[in-house]
Amino acid sequence: MPATRADRGPGPRPRLTIAILIAVTSVLAGFATWRSDVADRARSDALNAADVQTRQRQGVIEEIDADLNDSRITLVRVRVDDRRARALGAEARSGRLTGDTGRRARALTAGYTAMASVIRERIDPDVLAGGATPRAFKRARDLHIETALARADLDPTPEIKQAADHNRRADDLRELGVAALVAALVLTCAEVSRTGWYRLFLAVGILGVLVTTALMISVGFGA
């Protein structure tokens, strides 16, 4: 009696092999999903660390700016005192002033000079070293920020890069998990097929499993 169309499906042994392949592929998809979740958690941790650093960095920069603003205000006072001292000193030396007025001018000159010198010490030394010009303030600001960031390690760039890497791996693993499921689905078609087409399904399924596995290994399962 010639074989019917239904009989042309896979025999019992190939069916068992296909079932094993489906099981393995499904487990692989589950494993990829789990590892993708682990990578996601690592991404979340890296982003959290970057957020803390960004917050801290902002705080440090604002603190530096606030301190430099105080130096600016102090500098204004130093300049006012200096100018007054110079003007009064010039008047006192001009010889135009009478005895008492001249003595008063000299005393006031000494007072303003003392005032200027005592508060000059309260200006940021890095600003004074640069000549207390707007450029000196900028240089001092840059230096303070650079030093603070290096000392407290507040650059979030590496964490953000790390988070992007974890994200990419999580996405890749998730996609490969879906690809493994598609392969499992194709293998399922081979398993339940009652025609000679099962060979095609099986070949495509096996190819899918091999490619997916190879890609998963190349992506890596580490967090």
Partner 1 sequence: MSAEAHDTSASRRTKQAVAVLLMVVTVIGGVFGVIAERTSDQHVDATRAVEVTSVRMLDERSRAAGRISAEQQAENTAAEQRANVKALTRRDTGSLDLQVERRGALEAARGAEESSKLGPQHSVLRDTSAVAERFKQQERRGYRTAFEFANAYDKQKGQLSEKVDSLLAVTAVLAIGVFLIGLTLAVGTPSARKVLLGTGIALSLVVTVWGVIVASERIQDPSAPAIDAYVRGQELRRAAFAEISGGAERDPHARALMRTAIGHFNVAIRIRPNYGAAYASRAIAETVLGFTDPKGSHGSREARDDYQRAYDLGYERALMLNNLAVTELRLGDYPAAIKAARGAVALRPKLSNYIETLTSVLRYRSEQPTPAYRASLARLRAAWSRTSTQRRTQEMIRAIEETHEIEEQDPRLAAKARSYRADLRRIQEELAQ
Residues between 18 and 37 with contacts to partner 1, criterion CB under 8 A: 18-20, 22-23, 26-27, 29-30, 33-34, 36-37
With a CB cutoff of 8 Å and minimum separation 6, the contacts of 180 are 25, 26, 28, 29, 32, 208, 209, 212, 216
Residue that the structure tokens 């499993």 belong to:
209
119: which 2 tokens?
């508060």
Which of 91, 96, 113, 133 binds partner 1 (CB under 8 A)? It is 113
Question: Given the rule CB under 8 A, which of 86-94, 120-128, 203-211, 212-220 is the region that contacts partner 1?
Answer: 120-128
Among 7, 90, 93, 121, binds partner 1 (CB under 8 A): 121
In the list 188, 208, 212, 216, the residue contacting partner 1 (rule: CB under 8 A) is 188
Contact present, 118 and 163 (Cβ < 8 Å): no
Q: Which two tokens stand for residue 58?
A: 């902002």
Query: What's the helix, strand, coil split of the chain in %, to 5?
Result: 85, 0, 15
For partner 1, which is the closer residue by CB, 63 or 94? 63
User: Cα dihedral sign for 33, 39, 42, 44?
Assistant: negative
CB of 62 to partner 1, least distance (A): 6
Under the binding rule (CB under 8 A), the answer on residue 184 touching partner 1 is yes
Euclidean distance between the first and final Cα of the chain, in Å? 59
Determine, following the binding rule CB under 8 A, whether residue 150 of this chain makes contact with partner 1. Answer: yes
Name the minimum Å distance from CB 145 to partner 1.
Answer: 10
Q: Identify the residue among 88, 92, 124, 216 touching partner 1 (CB under 8 A).
A: 124
- The residues in 67-96 that bind partner 1, with binding defined as CB under 8 A, are 67, 69-71, 73-74, 77, 81
